[in-house]
Structure 1
Amino acid sequence: MAASTSNVEDIKLRLEEHLANLGFEIHPLKVGWYNAVLPPSLRLGHRDDRLAVLVLSTPAMFEEAFLPFVEDADCQSLSDPVDQCVRHCVSSAVARCFAGTEVEVSYDYELLPSRKPRFLAQTAAHVCGAAFYYQQADVREQPWGHKKMFGVCVHPRFGGWFAIRALLVFGGVTVDSEMLQPDPPDCVPSREGRIQLLEAFNLHWQDWSYRDVVPPVQVYSQRQKDYFSTRPAQRVALLRTWGFLSRGSQAAASCTEGVC
């Protein structure tokens, strides 16, 4: 199936119909945009002209999707309630919208047998224009010497108050040349601002300050902050104190990247 720009927009709209009101954003991209910036060992195993879609969660996801999910779900064997909620929402949308279509879904927490991630979430967000991935190399005359500073994505509307959740690859959908790659909004253009961002993320991520590097239109609710500030192994117990999950559930939550 060859997809024109209008076909891509239709795919995006169909996913948004099921996911936008649950607090998710949808961003189409070409596989080639992603593969072009990575070495062969990290590229997706799909042709460069195939369509992919990145799924982000916004602050609204916690109240609109996650809490209703844990209220209704049988969480006896859950390893991470948020991961299971995202999987449920995304897989349900794909099944409803694209039954019989070849769609490979990768989640941010999944690893290959080599222990490498199924996809590099922040790279995908940058190349599709969803969020700017600020890295150490983006700072002129770096002040850190040989110290490694990990990069972080900034969303133009939510700052750091969002998460990258899943990548969908439509194996049978070939994108034509009309689909142009958008540039991610450079929300932190100054050297000083980028230094402040990377230091806040690497050295003080627990205080949430890096997330406010640009004025966000929405942030995590206090309940959501409490959840992600709680040690992963204690999150199910916290949900129980809020009246969610059964008292008999022995699930232990974990956040694979440390930042959610």
Structure 2
Amino acid sequence: MAAPNDNVGNVTGLLNDSLSKLGFEVYALKVGWYNAVLSPSLRLAYPDDTLAVVVLSTPAMFEQAFLPFMEERGCQGVSDPIDQCVKHCIKSAISQCFPGQKVDVSFDYEMLPSRKPKFLAQTAAHVSGAAFYYRQADVTDHPWGEKKMFGVCVHPRFGGWFAIRALLVFGGVEAGSELVQPVPPDCVPSRETRIQLLEGFNLRWQDWSYRNIIPPVQTYSQKQRDYFSTPPGQRSALLRTWGFLHREEDQPDSSSDTHTVMDGHG
């Protein structure tokens, strides 16, 4: 592994310079922080001090990256257009910032052959300090009995108006002792509000009210809301009305957004 030096600052600085203008945020973490809270079958096969970076998209990504991407490149093949855009932006940033360096990139929609996700997006966001992952266990004396309530991350600035898109692992870079694990901001501290958050996410996610559990500094634009409110199988028709797809082009796959909704990332 490379000596720590200022590797963390170099890596995150370069990525931030490349991706922030496209509406993304980057947060550094050590693989060991992530592995420490997961069962062995879900851990990443890297030493604990290996540097990783979690990439989030903010509300600005739609206008600053996605719409320009569609205007310039359109949708290639059958995969989801948002996924294509995110992959293009992140892969381009890596090739420009770290030419010749091996970076293991996992996207939020990718699955292992076992059908488990390649990485647990909300866990990565939590241990990096990017967003607090509120789970059923975080509600004292919860009222749901045996009912399973899925957890959701809340960003300290954007509330629920963001998405966790990718995990980048820099296999040859040691984070070292200068990278100290942050505590994610607990912006939903009360029991009552946590109940409201988890019930909103699990029972009424379509109305998006859970995203406003704290006052966000920015939300999705109306155009972005229209896009994500449209069922995935009908989004190609919407994109055509915006002038981005020709009728003969392949239809985007309608299956790739199911996990996104349930993971709180649409």
Shift of 1:76: 4.1
Partner of 2:259: 257
Provide closer, same or farther for how the CA distance between residues 129 and 258 of structure 1 changes in structure 2, counting only shifts above 3 A: closer
User: Is residue 183 from structure 1 mapped to residue 176 from structure 2 by the alignment?
Assistant: no
Partner of 1:47: 47
Inter-partner Cα distance in structure 2 for 1:236 and 1:246: 9
Q: Which blocks of at least 5 consecutive residues in structure 2 are unaligned?
A: none
* CA deviation map 1:76-105 (0-9, x unaligned): 413100000000000000000011112100
Inter-partner Cα distance in structure 1 for 2:203 and 2:136: 14
Partner of 2:71: 71
Taking the TM superposition and a 5 Å limit, the aligned residue runs for 1:210-229 are 210-229=210-229
Inter-partner Cα distance in structure 2 for 1:74 and 1:252: 11
Inter-partner Cα distance in structure 1 for 2:3 and 2:195: 43
Inter-partner Cα distance in structure 1 for 2:145 and 2:234: 38
User: Is residue 144 from structure 1 mapped to residue 144 from structure 2 by the alignment?
Assistant: yes
Partner of 2:131: 131
* CA deviation map 1:42-92 (0-9, x unaligned): 001111110000000000000000011111114241310000000000000
Partner of 1:31: 31
Shift of 1:196: 0.4
User: Is residue 3 from structure 1 mapped to residue 7 from structure 2 by the alignment?
Assistant: no
Partner of 2:205: 205
* CA deviation map 1:149-178 (0-9, x unaligned): 000000000000000000000000012112
Inter-partner Cα distance in structure 2 for 1:58 and 1:77: 26
| AA of the residue aligned to 2:170 | F
The 8 Å contact of residues 27 and 53 in structure 2, kept in 1 or not, is answered as yes
Taking the TM superposition and a 5 Å limit, the aligned residue runs for 1:221-240 are 221-240=221-240
Inter-partner Cα distance in structure 2 for 1:17 and 1:248: 37
| AA of the residue aligned to 1:257 | H
Q: SS at 1:168's partner residue?
A: strand
Partner of 2:110: 110
The 8 Å contact of residues 109 and 260 in structure 2, kept in 1 or not, is answered as no
Inter-partner Cα distance in structure 1 for 2:140 and 2:150: 16
Inter-partner Cα distance in structure 1 for 2:145 and 2:153: 22
Shift of 1:3: 2.0
The 8 Å contact of residues 23 and 58 in structure 2, kept in 1 or not, is answered as yes
Inter-partner Cα distance in structure 1 for 2:52 and 2:59: 23
The 8 Å contact of residues 58 and 158 in structure 1, kept in 2 or not, is answered as yes
| More displaced 10-residue stretch of structure 1: 7-16 or 88-97 | 7-16
Identical residues among aligned pairs (%): 69
The 8 Å contact of residues 112 and 118 in structure 1, kept in 2 or not, is answered as yes
Please give the root-mean-square deviation of Cα atoms over the aligned residues, in Å.
Answer: 1.0
| AA of the residue aligned to 1:64 | Q
* CA deviation map 1:127-155 (0-9, x unaligned): 00000000000000010111100000000
Shift of 1:2: 1.8
Q: SS at 1:153's partner residue?
A: strand
Q: Which blocks of at least 5 consecutive residues in structure 1 are unaligned?
A: none
Taking the TM superposition and a 5 Å limit, the aligned residue runs for 1:14-25 are 14-25=14-25
Q: Structure 1 residue runs of 4+, over 3 Å off?
A: none
Q: Figure out how many residues of one structure are paired with residues of the other and give that number.
A: 259
